[in-house]
Amino acid sequence: MSTDTADGDNELRERITNFLRRNFPQIQMHGGSAAIAHLDREKGEVTVQLGGACSGCGISPMTIQAIKSRMVKEIPEIETVHADTGAAAGADGDLGGTSSGGGMSPSFPGETTDDGGDDEGPQAPF
């Protein structure tokens, strides 16, 4: 790899990292992380790995879709974005739950389900 190619890759990596920080600050604010797992400048492909609190988060599929659609619009060198959380990845590399596999549904404080038992579940704190 020539020095020019390496410099170009480093510059593109920096632009992708800045794009993620600027457009998706909620990832880091909520205890998650986003890192470039793979970059192929010639093909215009990047793989972004979400980690930390993103793994298992019910909002991750929406964040992934937003990253995919917005990055190709804002960074002209990127034509294809692959992104996942690495947890229960589906056939297309997205978080499980966007495919028809099993898995857990997110739950929220105070939310209850009627399973026929007498336990009403957790009470809301207010």
Q: How many CB atoms lie within 10 A of CB 103?
A: 13
Position 7 scores a pLDDT of: 79
Whether residue 97 is contained in a domain is answered as no
Whether residue 113 is contained in a domain is answered as no
Entry pTM: 0.63
Give me the tens of pLDDT residue by residue for the chain, a chain 126 residues long: 556 667 788 999 999 999 999 999 999 999 999 999 999 999 999 999 999 999 889 999 999 999 999 999 999 999 999 999 876 443 333 333 333 333 434 444 444 455 555 555 555 554
89, burial (CB in 10 Å: exposed 0-12, middle 13-18, buried 19+): middle
Radius of gyration, CA atoms only, the chain: 18
> How far is the C-alpha of 122 from the C-alpha of 126, rounded, in Å?
12
Q: How many domains does the chain have?
A: 1
Position 87 scores a pLDDT of: 60
Position 39 scores a pLDDT of: 96
Whether residue 67 is contained in a domain is answered as yes
Query: 101 with 91: CB under 8 angstroms?
Result: no
Whether residue 126 is contained in a domain is answered as no
Whether residue 11 is contained in a domain is answered as yes
Whether residue 99 is contained in a domain is answered as no
CA distances in angstroms from 57 to 44, 65, 72, 95, listed in the order given = 28, 14, 24, 10
> How far is the C-alpha of 69 from the C-alpha of 2, rounded, in Å?
31
Task: Residue 40: give the domain boundaries.
Answer: 3-84
CATH of the domain at 52: 3.30.300.130
